[in-house]
């Protein structure tokens, strides 16, 4: 289905999930849509996310779900309510990609990767008449209000659509296209942009040479991390220069902010969260019978070699008193001295504040220009919350365009299948 020659024209800058879903909403409404992207192809960060299984969303009840967005909850809750996790699963299934709920409550496509979903999605957009202008880098606006791009030959391209959606992503993984250069372009138009900072990233800590050379890449399984009164269970991985992993990411915003304020943050690691202090103490009171400290800790406390090495990092002379040793195992102190760089982060904090936007995600200073996805100033932990909000804001921005152009809304969501309702 192609749009009519007289259909309003909309430019979407950015070919990630927010831009693609916005294009689908607008294409269904019969608008003429062009997606501009500086990369040779679209959806690159989505494909990267798919390498780890493509965690689309989460199955937890909505009240807990929206609480994950912390300070941005008031702005995101109505948008996610309008396109909830069940809607995202139904949409995915409408593209022939069934979903399932994993043991952690996270939702994945059964194909467990992004490429089949992206192929089907691009086919649908093609059928709606959506056009793609790849290798087009956005350069802002000219004095006449036209969008300026440079194409693959570095030649200027101008266009003046009836509405524009900015969906250029944050600044993490810049080699995939999201480099944050848009922040300066918006600042030139008087639009405030909160500083772009890493989110869901690893942290730096001063490992000993033994830790770096022998244990980099080793996983810390079934642990619990505690910082500033918040405790998260999960896993982490020792790296050459620090620590990363799902449990670390869940605390990353708190840790990052503390490091920015105080210069460092003290994280505590419980190596045996499944055992109470009393139960662990009873095991450690078992006679050693000539065993080395490492052998004893492995057999009595069930610690892995990397866990034992972590104890020695905190206390080279391990306590001989069982109570003190149990306390150390249950709360290994780890001093974090910095956050890993933005280009290595999973996602981005900061961006366009909601105060710069109206209720339809339109920039107050630039009527007809809307913002969606990771460009907005919000952050969330991994677990499906990132993609869910990205989709929801893309749909909201597209519906804002329809309201701005006074065009009837186009239905997008589908009824969840019986399989989705039962899981």
Phi, psi of 421, deg, nearest 5: -65, -30
pTM of this structure: 0.92
In the block, tokens 């702005």 appear at 75
Place of tokens 């494909």: 47
Strand partners, 334: 267
Name the nearest CA neighbour of 205 among 267, 148, 157, 113: 267
Q: Say how far apart CA 199 and CA 382 lie, in whole Å.
A: 10
Indicate the SS3 state at residue 18: helix
Cβ–Cβ under 8 Å, residues 238 and 220: yes
**Structural contact between residues 235 and 220, judged by C-beta atoms closer than 8 angstroms:** yes
CA 341, 346, 347 angle in degrees (round to 5)? 90
pLDDT in tens, the chain (423 residues): 678 888 999 999 999 999 999 999 999 999 999 999 999 999 999 999 888 789 999 999 999 999 999 999 999 999 999 999 999 999 999 999 999 999 999 999 999 999 999 999 999 999 999 999 999 999 999 999 999 999 999 999 999 999 999 999 999 989 888 999 999 999 999 999 999 999 999 999 999 999 999 999 999 999 999 999 999 999 999 999 999 999 999 999 999 999 999 999 999 999 999 999 999 999 999 998 889 999 999 999 999 999 999 999 999 999 999 999 999 999 999 999 999 999 889 999 999 999 999 999 999 999 999 999 999 999 999 999 999 999 999 999 999 999 999 998 766 644 443 333 444
Helix or strand or coil: residue 331? Answer: coil
How would CATH label the architecture of 9-198+347-422?
3-Layer(bba) Sandwich (3.50)
Look-up: residue for tokens 């689908």?
24
Residue 117, Cβ neighbours under 10 Å: how many?
22
* Pair 55, 152: CB distance under 8 Å: no
- The rounded distance, in Å, linking the Cα atoms of 371 and 374 is 9
Structure-block tokens of residue 214: 């022998």
Domain boundaries, the chain: 9-198+347-422, 203-339
User: Cα 262–265–271 angle (5° rounding)?
Assistant: 170
Give dist(CA 34, CA 131) in Å, integer. 5
- Alpha-carbon span 46 to 118, nearest angstrom: 8
Contacts of 252 (CB under 8 A, 6+ apart): 198, 199, 200, 201, 203, 339, 381
Cα–Cα distance list, 215 to 117, 221, 231, 293 (Å): 37, 14, 24, 18
């Amino acid at each position: 289905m192609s749009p009519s020659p007289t259909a309003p024209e909309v430019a979407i800058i950015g070919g990630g999930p927010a831009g693609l879903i916005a294009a689908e909403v607008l294409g269904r409404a019969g608008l003429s849509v062009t997606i501009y992207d500086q990369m040779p192809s679209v959806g690159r960060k989505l494909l990267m996310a798919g390498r780890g299984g493509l965690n689309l969303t989460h199955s937890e009840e909505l009240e807990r779900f929206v609480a994950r967005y912390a300070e941005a909850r008031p702005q995101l809750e109505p948008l996610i309510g309008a396109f909830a996790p069940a809607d995202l699963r139904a949409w995915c299934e409408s593209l022939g990609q069934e979903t399932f709920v994993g043991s952690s409550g996270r939702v994945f496509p059964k194909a467990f990767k992004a490429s089949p979903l992206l192929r089907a999605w691009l086919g649908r957009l093609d059928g709606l008449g959506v056009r793609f202008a790849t290798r087009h880098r956005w350069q802002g606006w000219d004095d006449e209000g036209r969008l300026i791009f440079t194409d693959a030959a570095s030649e200027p391209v101008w266009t003046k659509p009836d509405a524009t959606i900015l969906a250029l992503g944050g600044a993490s993984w810049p080699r995939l296209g999201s480099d944050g250069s848009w922040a300066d372009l918006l600042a030139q138009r008087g639009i405030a942009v909160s500083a772009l900072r890493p989110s869901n990233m690893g942290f730096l800590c001063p490992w000993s040479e033994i830790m770096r050379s022998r244990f980099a890449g080793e996983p810390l399984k079934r642990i619990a991390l505690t910082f500033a009164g918040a405790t998260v269970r999960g896993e982490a991985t020792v790296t050459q220069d620090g620590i990363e992993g799902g449990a670390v990411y869940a605390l990353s915003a708190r840790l990052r902010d503390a490091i920015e304020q105080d210069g460092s943050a003290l994280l505590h690691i419980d190596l045996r969260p499944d055992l109470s202090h009393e139960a662990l103490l009873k095991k450690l009171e078992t006679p050693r019978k000539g065993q080395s400290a490492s052998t004893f800790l492995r057999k009595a406390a069930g610690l892995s070699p990397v866990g034992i090495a972590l104890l020695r990092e905190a206390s080279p002379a391990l306590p001989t008193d069982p109570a003190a040793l149990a306390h150390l195992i249950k709360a290994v102190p780890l001093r974090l001295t910095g956050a890993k760089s933005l280009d290595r982060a999973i996602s981005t904090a900061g961006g366009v504040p909601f105060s710069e936007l109206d209720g339809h995600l339109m920039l107050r200073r630039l009527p007809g220009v809307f913002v969606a996805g990771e460009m907005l100033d919000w952050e969330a932990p991994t677990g499906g919350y990132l993609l869910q909000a990205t989709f929801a804001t893309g749909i909201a921005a597209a519906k804002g365009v329809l309201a701005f152009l006074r065009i009837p809304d186009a239905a997008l969501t589908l009824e969840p299948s019986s399989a989705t309702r039962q899981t």
